A and B are shown apart, each in its own frame.
Chain A
Amino acid sequence: MDGIHDMGGMDGFGPIPIERDEPVFHAPWEGRVYAMNTAVGVWGKWNIDAGRYGIEMLDPALYLQSSYYERWLYRNENLLVEHGMITSEELSNGKASGGNRETPPNAEEIFEKQRKSRSFRVDEDIAPKFKPGDAITVRNIHPKTHTRIPRYVRSKRGVIDRDHGVFIFPDTHAQFQGTKPQHVYSVMFTAQELWGPDAPSQDKLYLDLWDDYMDPA
């Protein structure tokens, strides 16, 4: 989706807010949000792409006004209700409405799951559409739902740098419509292709794109 989250290349946000010796969490509640996100994720009701889409669907004004972990909180509340883990009534009044009490995963089970997280690589022998050195054009497509093509590369010409192998396709995965496995590549763009003739001629940008995002140039 062409959402507020797709920020690459925007102006007006000011200087980088560099903070020396910053803590991992700036307040205890941030750690609780982070930990709840991890712990409820272990139930497997949604996946990482659906989780990212959950943040992208926040109201744009709310997205900009909120801190990072506030966005995670709002996203988690929405996903918990959407996937039936809690009801909107429970969320608004804070009280569990009876029913069976589940047995939550303990810390060791959660860490074991994280250790075994074997990525989103798919062990399938699928032919790549491109090889290193191939010239490509990024498709000018505007999916209304989750996608990982930033706006700033659409219609731009790049060169395949390396093939990373076969991965889950986030556009369908986020919608629970299958994994549609395909190759992911690092693709190189010159700074001038992306930002025009005033950009330094020697500078480059690399990003990771799936087969379905590109055509031969």
Chain B
Amino acid sequence: MSDGHDHSHLSDTELRVRALESLLTDKGLVDPAALDAIVDRYENKVGPRNGAKVVARAWVDPEFKKFLLEDGTAAIGSLGYLGSQGADMVVLENTDKVHNVTVCTLCSCYPWPVLGLPPAWYKSFPYRARLVKEPREVLQEFGLELDDDVEVRVWDSTAELRYLVLPARPAGTDNMSEEELADIVTRNSMIGTETVASPAGGA
């Protein structure tokens, strides 16, 4: 790497990563420009806005919602959001009686094409260890208090199915367009650690 900066402050890990990239480049195993493009793709192009568009479509189009819940792969595919780590999709509907939330206890499985790369907390030891055993306590840490009459369903992604939560459409959004609705859908609501709040001034 020759970006002209003083590297004396680099950590051992940074030096080790640079050494590996340099070696793989010298051997012709990776193309640094391709690495730049991959980083750019996940920093700037693929992310939870894709999933938010799926959710907003389901909120405004009952036929699409039915399709999405019956065949998540085909419905998400119809919007163009399938691919690596999201080729076989299952969509889980949250209601006022059932709250779904997803985790991968064994590693970090997550639906990349619709949500991008997972946040650090999703990959963290506390989330992986605790969600399956004490989901209500974990959700409280995200600010979500669930009543006793709500059934919590935790989905541990142990296979190649990838899960997307369809959050409930909040009150006070009847007059919003599909694009406006997509803007209020949060990443965490599609993992299941939050609900979607009514927009300011609404409801």
Residue numbers of A with Cβ under 8 A of B are 5-11, 13-19, 22-27, 29, 31-36, 38-40, 43, 52, 55, 64, 68, 70, 73, 76-77, 80, 85-86, 90-91, 94-96, 99, 101-107, 110-111, 114-115, 117-121, 148-150, 152, 164, 167-168, 170, 184, 186, 191, 194-195, 200, 202-210
Contacts and interface: CB of A to CB of B under 8 A. Distances in A.
Given A91-B23, A114-B83, A205 B106 contact: no
B129 A9 contact: yes
13 contacts: A5-B106, A7-B129, A8-B129, A29-B18, A35-B35, A36-B20, A43-B29, A95-B26, A104-B31, A107-B37, A107-B38, A117-B83, A205-B156
Contacts of A206: 153-156
A55 B133 CA distance: 24
Given A102-B27, A119-B87, A203 B133 contact: no
Contacts of B142: 16, 18
A148 B154 CA distance: 17
B14 A22 contact: no
What class of interface size applies to chain B in its complex with A? 35 or more
Contacts of B151: 202-204
A32 B160 contact: no
Given A8-B105, A40-B30, A96 B23 contact: yes
B30 to A, nearest CB: 4
